[in-house]
Each structure stands twice: as C-alpha cells, then as structure tokens.
C-alpha cells in the first residue's frame, strides 16, 4: 500500500514540476516578447505625456525627428515645455471640434499590433463619452531601441 502512495506522490511531484516549468517558460517568453516590442516605449511615452515630462517624450521619438524638433526650438526660441504645451493645446482644440476631448471617464486600450522587422504599428482605441476613436502609432527600431515616428 505504501509503495502505491509513494509512486502516486512521485507522479504528482513530476506533474506539478512540469506544469510549473511550462508556466515559467511561458512567462519568460511573454516577458522577452514584450521587452522586444515597442510596447514599453508606448507606456513610457503615455506616462510622460500625462506628467508633461517633455524630456522623456523626446526620448521616445526617433532621434532624427528629435533633432529637428530641437532645431525648431532653437530657431523660434521656444522651450521644450512651451512647444509641448502648444502642441497639446492645438490637439485639444482640434479634438474639441471633433467632440473627442478626453474626459475623466475616457479610457485607452491597445487595439492592434503589427510588426515587420524594425518597423511596427500599434493601434490605440480611445473610448470617450460612448464614442470610440482608433489611432495608429508607428515605430521604428534603431540599434535595438523602439522610437515613435512622426512622419
């Protein structure tokens, strides 16, 4: 009788260890996939926009465009914060005209993801006042880092 219990116990341990190994491998695979995608850049940028952290927003934009933005700031004498406020203000005015101004009850979720080598696009769905708007963000990977493209 104890041999049967011992055998069942061994089988249970082996099955449990196998299941835990599969879960661990799946978790590691998901983490590696996430880290090698533009999603961390999206999260970083959305947080920076919410906090009005211009320097971090600029870090998320492709270097060529960041250089052009800095050149415009140099010519106009605008600070990064002023430029950022102006962009957000014009976007808010445009969204108001379209009745798409974000409210406290609005939400944003990922609606789609496509990747082709070092290029990717992520669709974001904004739900605001019962209306849904989908926007596509395009990204390019340069030297292993994902950046938002603006052009």
Residue with tokens 């009850």: 105
Percentage of residues of the chain with pLDDT beyond 90 = 7
Least confident residue range of 3-7, 39-43, 124-128: 3-7
70: confidence class by pLDDT, cuts 50, 70, 90: confident
Does pLDDT of 148 surpass 50? yes
Q: What is the pTM of this model?
A: 0.61
Average of per-residue pLDDT across 18-38: 69
Does pLDDT of 129 surpass 60? yes
Residues with Cβ < 8 Å from 113, sequence gap 6 or more? 37, 39, 120, 121, 122, 123
Cα dihedral value 21, 26, 30, 32, nearest 10: 50
pLDDT of amino acid 35: 65
Look at 123 and 27; give whichever has higher pLDDT.
Answer: 123
Does pLDDT of 43 surpass 80? yes
> What does the block give as tokens for 108?
């944003």
- Segment 86-112, tens digit of pLDDT: 766 655 444 444 444 455 566 777 778
pLDDT of amino acid 119: 92
pLDDT, mean over the chain: 76
pLDDT of amino acid 100: 47
pLDDT of amino acid 104: 52
């Amino acid at each position: 009788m104890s041999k049967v219990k011992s055998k069942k116990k061994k089988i249970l341990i082996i099955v449990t260890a196998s299941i835990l190994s599969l879960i661990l491998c799946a978790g590691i695979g998901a983490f590696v996939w996430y880290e090698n995608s533009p999603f961390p850049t999206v999260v970083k940028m959305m947080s920076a926009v919410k906090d009005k952290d211009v320097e971090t927003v600029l870090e998320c934009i492709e270097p060529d465009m960041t250089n052009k933005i800095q050149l415009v700031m140099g010519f106009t004498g605008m600070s990064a914060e002023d430029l950022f406020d102006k962009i957000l203000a014009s976007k808010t005015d445009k969204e108001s005209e379209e009745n798409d101004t974000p409210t406290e009850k609005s939400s944003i979720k990922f609606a789609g993801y496509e990747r082709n080598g070092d290029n990717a696009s992520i669709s974001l769905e904004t739900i605001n006042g019962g209306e849904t708007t989908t926007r596509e963000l395009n990204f390019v990977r340069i030297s292993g880092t994902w950046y938002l493209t603006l052009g």
